[in-house]
């Protein structure tokens, strides 16, 4: 909207870029500067998130602020950091060179952060240095003379406390002053920029040391709390136990806290279906709306509470600084199969849904490490598999206790999760030894000081996740649902049909064609048909099974009836084979689309599909045959 | 900044430390031990690792303190640099960093003098 108005007036907004190392409070400063006036999108061609926002300076300039990915140096090590470098150098396609660069640093860690500023100063662009987190520095008795720094560096220096609006006013004032003097169109040729050599970095270090010798009046005492916390949280015994406990709490929360909101959504969807059913004429349109769109989209929206709760935990752990500790603790385990400790975070997200997990793999710098992480992310049991697991376990696994206190059903569920994790580790190990050999990225990861998570950051992050998820539902999933409804509705059954309608449809045709292929793993034609719509989203298979077994009624009653129907018509061997299939099968087109977007190639998406299909078939085959041999084939 | 003096001092420091048998790769240091970085060296094929180490603050003259080891195979390491930043790195990269004792009398670095008391 604003863009349109500005364009109409012919006013080009002034653009500034926020640059800074990770953990310097840059994003918090960005949130304070722009508030809710933010836009997020993607840079063309790559999937790095582009965050921008608008603000108005005291002098009345409209400024577009670009929040660039955190980077320790202009020598980019990951796709995120490459964006920072390219924008600062004016090399990024469809992005104009920023009019000014604001370099954000952590005042308590200037010794490391000023180096980036020196690199930026080499570019000769209008530049402001922000000493952020001044409150923490002062509390530790650290005194820094920003005047001395400004004089030595020859650029404006502002001190801020990003969590509050302190210093933001001064920053805007300095920005005005800088914009008033600097010709904003000056194009400095930066094509001859080269990556700093090790010697150049050493020289930067020496210069930082010299600067700080003059500018630091009091060093202050180093932080104690982080050290003391780390003594417990990184303890060789207590550390892993605490991490396990945290993960347990997180999954507990995902499944128990989300139950109520999921029931509401379920109730809302069912209510809508009833209302549509009662108020619409019997027609194809009604069928499309009720059975296709509302049922299909409702079946996916229902996972929003679980995804939000999982992300709440992940955002809190990230913002507090614990996530890097988790990566530290897990690094050795993961490096045994050729993964990086950083892969822990994307894989954790994948338990909610593989798509955000695959997107989170961007923080892994090395392309091969990143690719392996993306390829195994779908093996983490996502929440869409739950309805299928729940249905089959309820139908076939007796609700008894083993070893006194552990429920057998829960144990089977745990086994399915564990199978996925072990499978992922084995696949990663095999990939690392064969296709994706070599090129390991060093860990080299900062463990930032602990801090209280900022509510604004967490809320904005959650809102962002919800928005992305809902947008996907509105686009990809909605259109897939329409296609699937079409496939399972047409052609209509002939007069005097004896089988359920879906049997005669295209989906039925596909299912029956697939049946001979699936017979060795114990699947009947009903399962084969249900797997076809289940390709779009796993949980749709439950609804499809209901259709195949010609059941109707609201979802609760249907699930119950379906449990009985399945228990009567399937053998235990078939049920176990289907569970094994579901642990591996790539039954989610949206995930494949995400892989293609993140790797920028259909080749890897196709590779993932083929390898997961093969694994699923093998797992189901072995399970079925072993179960038959154990005499579980009789119904 | 006098680069030659700096280099000479460093060579002298390195010579002393090596002669006294006090040097150790960072990867072999135990948790709780401290030292000063004497050299960051990787083979010519690993210049990127050298740059990565330098960018994270592992530079000649910096004080390091090994804080923690991972629970499996004592890998990776958490290292505090100059009392201001903690970095996690694997043993194999840490071994590219050669650490000597904190030789206050040889050091011409008043900036970080205070920390030595703590160490």
Candidate ranges A334-338, A478-482, A559-563; pick with highest mean pLDDT: A334-338
B104: closest CA of chain A, how far (Å): 17
A205 at B interface, C-beta within 8 A = yes
**pLDDT score, position A204:** 92
Region class of A94: left (phi > 0), else alpha (psi between -120 and 50), else beta: left
Beta bridge partners of A131: A105, A159
Q: Chain B residue with minimal CA distance to A200?
A: B51
**Nearest Cα residue to A476 out of A389, A548, A535:** A535
| Lowest-pLDDT range of A346-355, A441-450, A492-501, A574-583 | A492-501
A327 at B interface, C-beta within 8 A = yes
Confidence grade of residue A195 (pLDDT, cut at 50, 70, 90): confident
B79: closest CA of chain A, how far (Å): 9
> What DSSP string describes A449-468?
PP-PPPHHHHHHHHHHHHHH
Torsion angle, CA of A279/A282/A288/A294, rounded to 10 degrees?
Answer: 30
pLDDT in tens, A8-58: 344 577 889 999 998 888 888 888 888 766 776 666 555 567 888 888 888
How many angstroms separate the Cα of B6 from the Cα of each of A579, B9, B38?
Answer: 67, 5, 12
A333 at B interface, C-beta within 8 A = yes
Q: Tokens 């496939």 appear where?
A: A487
Helix (H, G, I), strand (E, B) or coil at A515: helix
CA–CA gap between residue A373 and residue A339 (Å, rounded): 7
Does residue B43 surpass a pLDDT of 90?
no
**pLDDT score, position A57:** 82
Does residue A82 surpass a pLDDT of 90?
no
Q: State chain A's mean pLDDT as an integer.
A: 82
Pairwise CB contact (< 8 Å): B54 & A205 = yes
Which A-chain residues 427-456 have CB contacts (< 8 A) with chain B?
Answer: 442-448
**pLDDT score, position A42:** 61
Does residue A3 surpass a pLDDT of 70?
no
A108 at B interface, C-beta within 8 A = yes
Average of per-residue pLDDT across B11-27? 73
B82 at A interface, C-beta within 8 A = yes
CB nearest A234 (choices: B47, B51, B78):
B78
Residue A73 is classified by DSSP as: S
**pLDDT score, position A291:** 73
- The burial class, CB within 10 Å (0-12 / 13-18 / 19+), for A411 is middle
What sign does the CA torsion over A549, A550, A556, A561 have?
negative
Helix (H, G, I), strand (E, B) or coil at A619: helix
**pLDDT score, position A198:** 87
3-state SS, A294-339, equals: HHHHHHHHCCHHHHHHHHHHHHHHHHHCHHHHHHHHHHHHHHCCCC
Show residues of chain B in contact with A341, CB under 8 Å: 76, 88
B76 at A interface, C-beta within 8 A = yes
Q: Chain B residue with minimal CA distance to A233?
A: B68
Does residue B99 surpass a pLDDT of 80?
yes
**pLDDT score, position A182:** 59
pLDDT in tens, A579-628: 999 899 877 777 888 888 788 888 999 999 999 999 999 999 999 999 88
Q: State chain B's mean pLDDT as an integer.
A: 78
Does residue A550 surpass a pLDDT of 70?
no
pLDDT in tens, A302-315: 778 877 888 888 88
Structure tokens at A170: 């001064």
B22: closest CA of chain A, how far (Å): 24
- The burial class, CB within 10 Å (0-12 / 13-18 / 19+), for A199 is exposed
**pLDDT score, position A231:** 92
How many angstroms separate the Cα of A474 from the Cα of each of A252, A254, A282, A297, A597?
Answer: 29, 24, 26, 8, 18
pLDDT in tens, A58-69: 888 888 999 998
CB nearest A210 (choices: B1, B40, B72):
B1
Which domains, and CATH codes, for chain A? 2-218 (3.40.50.300)
Residue A169 is classified by DSSP as: H
Residue A64's H or E segment, with its range, is: strand A62-67
Show residues of chain B in contact with A108, CB under 8 Å: 84
Q: Domain B3-118 falls in which CATH fold?
A: SH3 type barrels. (2.30.30)
CA–CA gap between residue A324 and residue A367 (Å, rounded): 20
């Amino acid at each position: 909207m604003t863009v349109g108005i500005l364009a109409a007036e012919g006013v080009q907004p002034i653009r500034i870029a926020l640059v800074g190392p990770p953990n310097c409070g840059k994003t918090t400063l960005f949130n304070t500067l722009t508030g809710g006036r933010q836009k997020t999108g993607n840079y063309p061609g790559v999937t790095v998130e582009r965050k921008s926002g608008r603000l108005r300076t005291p002098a009345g300039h409209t400024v577009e602020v670009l929040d660039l990915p955190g980077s320790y140096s202009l020598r980019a090590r990951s796709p995120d950091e490459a964006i920072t470098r390219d924008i600062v150098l004016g090399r990024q396609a469809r992005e104009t060179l920023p009019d000014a660069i604001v370099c954000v640093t952590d005042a308590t860690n200037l010794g490391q952060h000023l180096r980036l500023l020196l690199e930026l100063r080499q570019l000769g662009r209008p530049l402001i240095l922000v000493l952020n987190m001044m409150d923490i520095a002062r509390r530790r008795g650290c005194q820094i003379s920003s005047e001395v720094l400004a004089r030595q560096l020859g650029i404006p220096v502002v001190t801020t406390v990003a969590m509050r609006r302190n210093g933001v006013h001064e920053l805007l004032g300095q920005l005005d002053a800088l914009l008033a003097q600097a010709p904003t169109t000056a194009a400095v040729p930066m094509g001859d920029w080269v990556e700093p050599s090790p010697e150049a970095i050493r020289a930067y270090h020496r210069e930082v040391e010299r600067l700080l010798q003059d500018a630091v009046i009091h060093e202050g005492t180093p932080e104690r709390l982080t050290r003391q916390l780390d003594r417990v949280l990184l303890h060789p015994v207590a550390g892993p136990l605490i991490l396990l406990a945290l993960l347990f709490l997180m999954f507990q929360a995902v499944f128990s806290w989300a139950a109520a909101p999921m029931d509401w959504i379920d109730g809302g969807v069912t209510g809508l279906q009833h209302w549509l059913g009662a108020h619409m004429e019997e027609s194809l349109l009604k069928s499309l709306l009720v059975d296709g769109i509302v049922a299909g989209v409702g079946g996916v929206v229902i996972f929003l509470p679980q995804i939000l709760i999982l992300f709440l935990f992940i955002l809190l752990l990230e913002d507090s600084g614990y996530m890097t500790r988790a990566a530290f603790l897990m690094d050795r385990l993961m490096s045994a199969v050729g993964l990086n400790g950083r892969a822990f975070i994307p894989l954790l997200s994948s338990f909610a849904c593989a798509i955000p997990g695959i997107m989170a793999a961007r923080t892994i710098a090395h392309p091969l490490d990143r690719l392996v992480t993306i390829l195994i992310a779908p093996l983490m049991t996502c929440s869409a598999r739950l309805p299928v697991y729940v249905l089959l376990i309820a139908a076939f696994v007796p609700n008894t206790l083993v070893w006194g206190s552990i429920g057998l059903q829960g144990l089977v569920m745990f086994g399915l999760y564990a199978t996925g994790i072990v499978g992922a580790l084995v696949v990663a190990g095999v990939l690392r030894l064969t296709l994706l050999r070599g090129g390991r990225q060093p860990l080299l990861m900062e463990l930032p000081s602990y801090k209280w998570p900022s509510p604004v950051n967490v809320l904005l992050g959650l809102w962002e996740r919800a928005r992305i998820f809902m947008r996907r539902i509105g686009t990809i999933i909605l259109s897939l649902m329409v296609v699937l409804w079409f496939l399972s509705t047409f052609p209509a059954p002939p007069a005097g049909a004896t089988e359920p309608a879906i049997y005669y449809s295209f989906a039925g045709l596909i299912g029956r064609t697939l049946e001979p292929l699936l017979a060795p793993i114990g699947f009947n034609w009903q399962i084969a048909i249900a797997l076809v719509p289940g390709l779009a989203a796993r949980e749709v298979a439950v609804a499809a099974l209901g259709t195949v077994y010609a059941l109707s009624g609201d979802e609760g009653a249907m699930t119950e009836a379906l449990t009985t129907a399945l228990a009567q018509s399937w053998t235990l061997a078939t049920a176990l084979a289907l569970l094994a299939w579901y642990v591996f099968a790539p039954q989610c087109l949206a995930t494949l689309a995400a892989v293609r977007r993140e790797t920028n190639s259909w080749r890897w998406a196709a590779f993932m599909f083929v390898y997961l299909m093969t694994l699923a078939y093998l797992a189901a085959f072995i399970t079925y045959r072993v179960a038959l041999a154990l005499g579980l084939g009789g119904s | 900044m006098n680069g030659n003096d700096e280099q000479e001092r460093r060579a002298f420091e390195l010579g002393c430390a090596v002669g006294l048998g006090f040097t150790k790769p960072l990867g072999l240091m135990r948790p709780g031990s401290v030292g000063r970085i004497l050299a960051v060296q990787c083979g010519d094929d690993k210049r990127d690792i050298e740059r990565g180490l330098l960018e994270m603050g592992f530079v000649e003259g910096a004080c390091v303190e090994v804080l923690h080891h991972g629970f499996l195979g004592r890998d990776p390491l958490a290292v505090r640099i100059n009392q201001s930043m903690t970095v996690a790195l694997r043993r194999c990269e840490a071994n590219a960093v050669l650490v000597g004792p904190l030789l206050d009398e040889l050091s011409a670095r008043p900036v970080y003098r205070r920390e030595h008391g703590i160490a």
